[in-house]
Chain A
Amino acid sequence: MSKDFIPGLVKGMATTARQMMSPTHTAEYPDVAPELPARSRGVIALVESNCTSCMLCARECPDWCIHIDSHKEEVPPANEGGRARQRNVLDRFAIDYSLCMYCGICVEVCPFDALFWSPQFEYAETDIRDLLHEKERLGQWVADVPAPPQLDPAAAEAPEVTAANKPTRGGNRPPRPSREPDSRGEAR
């Protein structure tokens, strides 16, 4: 028996007693909603009006869980004598969550901000076939998408802004105010 035996036992009892007096860590989940961190990956929501049916998400998806059907529609010319244009109309956008592995590549790759991560995670089903969700259901989740977190005021500027603000070779152009829409940059 070492000399630390009795102090060790007393210390153990003191630790448990202190823990009993302090608040518990239990998450009472179904009764109390959990506090999820920002950017939680719960489910992928679709803003239908932003989607151009470009198919980038469906092609990039590693396990081919996105189904897109669309057709082209003739848009009459806006001005007299103009050329009629075509646009894509989305017929079907479905994500099979029994296949989805939540990699988020589709959200990253979407050029038109049509896909977002929603923190909603309570969409379990009793049948695996019911996990194929159509665009109506995907659209409902948009309401849960949190606003993007504020930029850190001390953060470095985005590379595009830095490039635009770089003085020209003559050095006589005044620097533009940062973080404002840049018409040349957008057109590029």
Chain B
Amino acid sequence: MTGLDLAFATTGLITAAAAALAVTTRHVVHSALWLVVTLLGLAGCYLVLGAELVALVQVLVYVGAVVVLVIVALMLTRAPIGPRAEHTTGPAHRVLAACVGAGTGGLVAAVLLPTAARTPVRPGGSEELARQIFSTWVWPFELLSLLLLAALVGAFAVAGLTTSQEGTR
């Protein structure tokens, strides 16, 4: 076990622990903050694997923008300080959620584990990443952005519909 392995294991553990805390804590905003730790840990994992560009983009986009958006949304709600009874779920829900989680995890593991062999990690420098994105993955990438654009337009349409109805009322 090399130092790099150890670092990867540590960041991985931190990520997993923070992720678990993010879904189990009863403070809504704590959940968002644990999400920050999770995302930072994930960025650390990428960094240990030598993909510093992916790690930085992860921090920039997810911590800098997405989590801020989540926190804005939380502030717009009546997010209380301290645990709140409404945010707890009954035992039935918990069992169901655990089943769904275990099922998804099992599915992913079943797909990924057979392919897991000791493969040398390819250096994921920015040049290599750029070449991959703009040659092999350019169509999926563009398709994804089209999907997001459609979602955005849809959201606008929905928001516009509700306001116009209120206007006629």
Question: Is there a contact between chains A and B in the complex with CB atoms less than 8 Å apart?
Answer: no
Question: Chain A: residues with CB nearer than 8 A to chain B?
Answer: none
Residues of B within 8 A of A (CB): none
